[in-house]
Structure 1
């Protein structure tokens, strides 16, 4: 199995859940299917979902909830 790092497609604020108090979309160790939402990136009150493009197991997040991210910055690792 190969470990792949997924990068932020756009700059903004990364959210691991849809709303404060909600469970995260995915946690470390969770199975991820193609099309699953892993997080959201917010820019000026517009939320863009971070969608998994391949299946595997989410191994680690490189950013925390509500962290500012830049385009191209590592977000998470997936083992496929």
Structure 2
């Protein structure tokens, strides 16, 4: 079981959903594909998608929705190769 860490590339606010009132991109325990968006980081009204680099299962988020993140912060962990 290899863990893949998804990190924030920049400082900003982390969002699990594409917009207020919409469901999250992915929930803990869900299967994810390589390249699938798991969240967004917003800084000055510019949004950057955070994507999984591997296929597997989202083990969990390491930051809360609407939390501030810094470059290099671990946002989520994916267990590679599981489904």
What is the TM-score of this pair, normalised by structure 1? 0.94
Matching residue of 2:24 = 24
Count of residues in correspondence between the two structures: 80
1:20-68 CA-to-partner distances (Å, cap 9, x unmatched) read 1110001100101011110000010000111111111000100111100
- Counterparts of residues 31-70 of structure 1 (less than 5 Å): 31-70=31-70
**What's the C-alpha RMSD, in Å, of the aligned pairs?**
0.8
Q: Distance in 2 between matches of 1:8 and 1:23?
A: 21
The answer for unaligned runs of 5 or more in structure 1 is none
The answer for unaligned runs of 5 or more in structure 2 is none
User: Is this contact kept in 1: 2:8–2:71, CA < 8 A?
Assistant: yes
Provide the secondary structure at the position in 1 that maps to 2:21: coil
After TM superposition, which residue ranges in structure 1, 4 or more long, deviate above 4 angstroms? none
